[in-house]
């Protein structure tokens, strides 16, 4: 029987050619209108790419940001990110449907959503290190009875590689960066083994809300030794400590669902607008094939705002607590681990 070392090394080498199995947000849907994301396969090689709401980044390999870079600006909106030059208008209380191009089944982990106000500077000009992020949603462990467990990332895969997040109904109007992130934990048992995939989109929130929670600089969101970052998923689990700052008081669960695309739209550029968000046209879907429990939270919305947002399928909620890291069993190795990880495996 092959040893743990040989099997792990073979898995890493076999996946080395499949780096693009990771993913990125390809488009954003709000009330039936689809907005293009940052196309990593085309835009970096185009002389005058279109102005989109998504931030640019150098992740042309569909790669990740590792914990060793948590203190650098790469963790904010991905590697070498630069401001999106457009923005998407969305009403407070509406849903934003984020569609990834793909996501690998082996990359289990939480899905977390943040907002950061751009103030009067505008999201197309603000320095990313000045952004202060607060959570508006989080989802983690769904079912940990059998390793490696069922996670929010698996729910995203079942929902056609897509995720729904609701903009708080009581949030103050203005321009914000929506930071949507998956954290892959398939190598999280190792220090610096977790993989963060942050995606940033500029939005302009309309409405009459007054709430603006205190945020945290992107470089202070996580540390490599956080309980939810250095975490072994290859064991039975009762709970999972979702990393990052706590959700602001008053936030509540959001169900997952789908938003039907009925039209394409272009991001707004220039000065702030009072234009309304697109009119809702949505269809319900069954996100999870069987009842599950998911760690998830967002701001409550009014009945009126729900009527104008995507039809959704509810998922019950479980709270999370810290668990110790135990002896690691056989993991799934990431295709894009690189030489540093291969050397670690070879020495094991």
Say how far apart CA 75 and CA 64 lie, in whole Å.
9
Q: Please tell me whether residue 240 adopts helix, strand or coil conformation.
A: coil
CB 315 within 8 A of CB 257: no
Q: Please tell me whether residue 128 adopts helix, strand or coil conformation.
A: helix
In the predicted structure, residue 302 carries a pLDDT above the cut 60: no
> For residue range 306-329, what is the model confidence (pLDDT) as tens digits?
333 333 333 333 334 434 444 444
Question: What pLDDT, on the 0 to 100 scale, is given for residue 274?
Answer: 52
Say how far apart CA 232 and CA 313 lie, in whole Å.
30
Q: Which two tokens stand for residue 50?
A: 């279109």
pLDDT category at 195 given cuts 50, 70, 90 is: very high
Say how far apart CA 300 and CA 302 lie, in whole Å.
7
What is the average per-residue pLDDT within 101-130?
A: 97
Q: Which two tokens stand for residue 9?
A: 């090394």
What is the average per-residue pLDDT within 193-207?
A: 98
Question: What pLDDT, on the 0 to 100 scale, is given for residue 330?
Answer: 56
Predicted model pTM? 0.79
> For residue range 166-186, what is the model confidence (pLDDT) as tens digits?
999 999 999 999 999 999 999
CB 35 within 8 A of CB 28: yes
Question: What pLDDT, on the 0 to 100 scale, is given for residue 315?
Answer: 39
Question: What pLDDT, on the 0 to 100 scale, is given for residue 249?
Answer: 83
Angle, helix 339-347 to helix 4-14, in steps of 10 degrees? 160
């Amino acid at each position: 029987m092959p040893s743990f070392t040989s099997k792990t090394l073979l898995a890493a080498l076999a996946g080395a050619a499949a780096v693009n199995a990771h993913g990125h947000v390809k488009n954003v849907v709000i009330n039936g209108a689809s907005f293009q994301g940052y196309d990593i396969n085309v835009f970096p090689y185009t002389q005058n790419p279109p102005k989109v709401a998504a931030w640019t980044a150098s992740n042309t390999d569909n790669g990740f940001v590792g914990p060793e870079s948590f203190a650098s600006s790469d963790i904010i909106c991905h590697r070498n990110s630069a401001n999106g030059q457009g923005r998407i208008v969305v009403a407070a209380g509406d849903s934003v449907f984020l569609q990834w191009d793909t996501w690998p089944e082996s990359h289990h982990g939480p899905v977390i959503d943040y907002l950061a106000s751009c103030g009067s500077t505008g999201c197309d000009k603000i320095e990313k290190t000045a952004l202060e992020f607060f959570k508006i949603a989080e989802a983690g462990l769904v079912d940990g009875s059998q390793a490696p467990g069922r996670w929010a990332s698996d729910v995203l895969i079942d929902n056609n590689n897509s995720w729904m997040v609701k903009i708080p109904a009581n949030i103050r109007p203005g321009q914000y960066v929506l930071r949507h992130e998956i954290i892959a934990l398939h190598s999280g048992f190792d220090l610096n083994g977790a993989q963060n995939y942050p995606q940033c989109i500029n939005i302009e929130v309309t409405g009459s809300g007054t709430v603006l929670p205190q945020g945290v600089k992107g470089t202070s969101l996580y540390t490599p030794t956080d309980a939810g970052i250095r975490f072994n998923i290859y064991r039975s689990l009762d709970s999972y400590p979702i990393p990052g700052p706590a959700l602001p008081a008053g936030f509540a669960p959001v169900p997952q669902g789908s938003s039907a695309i009925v039209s394409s739209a272009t991001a707004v550029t220039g000065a702030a607008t009072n234009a309304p968000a697109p009119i809702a046209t949505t269809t319900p879907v069954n996100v999870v094939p069987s009842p599950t429990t998911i760690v998830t939270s967002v701001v409550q919305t009014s009945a009126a705002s729900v009527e104008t947002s995507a039809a959704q399928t509810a998922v019950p909620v479980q709270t999370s607590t810290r668990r110790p890291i135990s002896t690691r069993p056989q993991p799934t190795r990431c295709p894009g681990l690189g030489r540093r990880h291969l050397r670690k495996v070879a020495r094991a």
